[in-house]
Amino acid sequence: MSTHVRSEPGAGRAAGTQGGPPRDPRDPRAVRTGAFPGAFPIGPAISFLRRLRAGLDAGSELPAALAEAGTALPRDLRTALDRLLSRLAGDYEEDEWGFDEEFADALLPFLEFLYDRWWRVETIGARNVPSHGRALLVANHAGTLPWDATMISVGLLREHPLPRYPRFLVLDWAFQLPYVSVAMRKLGGVVASPYNALRLLEQDELVAVFPEGAKGAGKPFKERYRLQRFGRGGFVELALRTGSPIVPVAVVGSEEIYPKLGEAPWLARLIGAPYFPLTPTFPLLGPLGTVPLPSKWRIEFGEPIETARFGPEAAEDRTFVFELSEQVREAIQNKVYENLVARGSAFL
């Protein structure tokens, strides 16, 4: 069972040329060299733009920078297309949960574009996440689609010295959406259930949960950044039974990507969703309205809360479970408020 840990920060993602100094994987200008260029055609296009920007930043004139950036484009397109055809023929691997690390790596250039340029994410405290073994990331939730989960994942890949892909639990209705469900599963999404979460933690995976559930993602825009109740504290029980540390995660920015002004209950019933949001752009702009707005994000990983010292029997103490759940919720809420102040304007 692989935990998908990279042996070196940025290895295979943003490394420098062989024999030269390695590039900082946290540098958004880092250019992939000799690595898989990403999903066809998005990955090669983003690689081209990164090389172009690197050339311009180095002082090259636009024609020279274009020529230099374009030298690798045919090769990148050919490599990405060849791999796409191989995958369509069934040449790829998934684990028992449907996670496809090659797919995740191929889509990473697009997710990094969202992280660096579209949402301008700033990640704090990534080193609070354990490098190895089981751990439970507990985050606030918003944004209808699980973009917050993908940005948490990219933040760890970019900022953690020993990054690994987290497995994030998603409500089962989302897995009924065409195309989206396939991508979520291949990126690490797992149907949310206590049984699945327990098995993942017993396999020493890094698991991300969003205890607010549909109440968090579906709350009106006027209630943004006010955390909903965490239910019965099921995530605390899981952490206690498995001895997993709990890492509170505060996400700021996801509330503005799809500002919910209302909802259409009959459409929600039609697709089997807990709600169907009406936003300033959707359904007014049709499919274009599903493009998330370019808000500015901050993600902070708090200090881990160790649970192993309490023992599995503590999971049977309902009062203790509720108190620990409220402690985690309060820690996240406080960090959300702090990061709202630090972020300033939502879009500028």
- Between 161 and 85, residue with greater pLDDT: 161
Strand partners for 138: 209, 248
Q: Are 144 and 245 found together in one domain?
A: yes
Which amino acid is located at 202 in the chain?
E
| Residue 29: inside a domain | no
Tokens describing residue 269: 């019933």
Same-domain pairing of 176 and 65:
no
Domain boundary among 91, 126, 155: 91
Measured between its terminal Cα atoms, the distance across the chain in Å is 43
pLDDT digits (tens, 9 = 90+) for 182-213: 889 999 999 999 999 999 999 999 999 999 98
Residues 174 and 211 in one domain: yes
- CA–CA dist 1, 280 (Å, integer): 45
Region 37-64: mean pLDDT is 84
User: Quick check: 314 pLDDT over 90?
Assistant: yes
Residue 20 has pLDDT above 80, yes or no: no
151 lies in the same domain as 74 = no
How much is the pLDDT for 35?
54
Q: Residue 341: in which H helix or E strand, if any?
A: helix 318-343
Which pLDDT score is estimated for 34? 42
Within a domain: 123: yes
Residue 13 lies in a domain: no
Residues 74 and 119 in one domain: no
Q: Do 219 and 83 share a structural domain? A: no
Are both 84 and 201 inside the same structural domain? Answer: no
* 236 and 301 part of one domain: yes
pLDDT for 218 equals 84
**Judgement on whether residues 320 and 209 belong to the same structural domain of the protein:** yes
> What CA–CA distance (Å, rounded) separates 171 from 303?
27
Angstrom CA distances, 190 to 68, 182, 207, 238, stand at: 42, 11, 10, 16
Give percent of the chain above pLDDT 90.
59
> What is the mean pLDDT of the segment spanning 272-293?
88
Can you give the pLDDT at residue 36? 60
For residues 190 and 229, membership in a common domain is answered with yes
Q: Are residues 188 and 313 in the same domain?
A: yes
**Whole domain around residue 208: which residue ranges?**
104-257+292-343
pLDDT at residue 76 in the model: 85
Number of structural domains (the chain) is: 2
Report if pTM > 0.85.
no
Task: Identify whether the C-beta of residue 129 lies closer than 8 Å to the C-beta of residue 301.
Answer: yes
Between 85 and 18, the higher pLDDT residue: 85
208 or 45, higher pLDDT: 208
Q: Kindly report whether the peptide bond that precedes residue 25 is cis, defined as omega within 30 degrees of 0.
A: no
* Both tokens assigned to 298: 């901050």
Residues 132 and 54 both lie in one domain: no
Does 97 fall in a domain?
A: no
| pLDDT tens track for 76-128 | 888 878 877 787 778 788 999 999 999 999 899 899 999 999 999 999 999 99
- Is residue 115 situated within a structural domain? yes
